[in-house]
Amino acid sequence: KINDVLKYSERAAMCTNELSRRLFGIMDKKKSNLALSADVTSSKELLQLVDKTGPHVCMVKTHVDILEDFNQEVVEKLTSLAAKHNFVLFEDRKFADIGNTVMHQYSGGVYHISEWADLINAHAVPGPGVIHGLKKIGASKGRACLLIAEMSSSGNLAKGSYSQDTVKMAEENKDFVIGFICVSKVSSDPTFLHMTPGVQLEAGKDNLGQQYLTPSEVIGNRGSDIMIVGRGIYQAQDPALAAKQFQIAGYDAYMARMAE
Ligand code: 5IU
């Protein structure tokens, strides 16, 4: 069996990392491969958005550093919503410094990311030290990391041998790296999660380089596991309805892929 014909539940059983097992389990139980990218700038708006869309998502991705009014209570409430709706919390911090620096950025400062985020991500550009630093903080807390193998924005430099070397770095750190941000399937290992940003119900772009693909392209044709949707949901008239539409589109694409 290759990756494409394995169900989420079967892949969950193959995972040795607790968080990837949990995430595949949530995807199976909630019938959702949708991650909300909750890129709003007020805490109140963030918490309302997450509560409304929570039933439809397997994961919520945050950028806590864009909140105008960040405080400790926000992450406490986010954590409660994650428990209430059963989703994973992913802080899209994109660590990209030497190991010693990212240790502080991950555990300290204003945000204490390691205290509440299940999942974080990192660029591979500094070399494996970035992973080793993050792992020192996160592994014992049951956290995990994604590597950015590819990006969705036009003209980005994460391609070719850079992407391939990023996959190798993940393979060498499988105890902490559970997958990738990517726009194509970069690994055939079924225990790795592929997560793709730049998704809307219609293909297109914004005016700052973001490029959009559809759920059926991302999940069906490209074999990604999770689609990450921001403006397609939170700028919709009815974000809960939009989330439901993305949930259905993404899950249908997964089911169609399994049936092939
Ligand atoms: N994001 C991307 N592309 C990438 C990476 C991260 O869009 O390659 I790495 C983030 C940026 C934003 C979200 O938080 O995903 C996409 O938001 P929209 O769906 O609003 O474009």
DSSP 49-85: HHHHHGGG-SEEEE-GGG-TT--HHHHHHHHHHHHHH
Average pLDDT over residues 65-78: 98
ipTM above 0.95, yes or no: yes
C-alpha 14/C-alpha 203 separation (Å) is: 34
pLDDT tens digit sequence for 165-189: 999 999 999 999 999 999 999 999 9
pLDDT of 123 over the 60 cut? yes
C-alpha 166/C-alpha 175 separation (Å) is: 15
Residue 106 identity (one-letter amino acid): Y
C-alpha 135/C-alpha 175 separation (Å) is: 9
Per the annotation, does 152 bind a ligand? yes
pLDDT of 28 over the 90 cut? yes
Average pLDDT over residues 78-106: 98
Per the annotation, does 185 bind a ligand? no
**Predicted local distance difference test score (pLDDT) of residue 3:** 57
Mutate to test the pocket of ligand 1, among 34, 36, 37, 182 (most ligand atoms within 8 A of CB): 37
The answer to whether 136 is a known catalytic residue is: no
Ligand 1 centroid, distance to 258 Cα (angstroms): 27
The answer to whether 92 is a known catalytic residue is: yes
By the 8 A CB rule, do 227 and 246 touch? yes
**Does this model's pTM top 0.90?**
yes
Per the annotation, does 231 bind a ligand? yes
By the 8 A CB rule, do 17 and 179 touch? no
**Residue ranges around ligand 1 (CB below 6 Å):** 37, 39, 63, 92, 148, 151-153, 181, 197-198, 210, 228-232
Average pLDDT over residues 117-134: 98
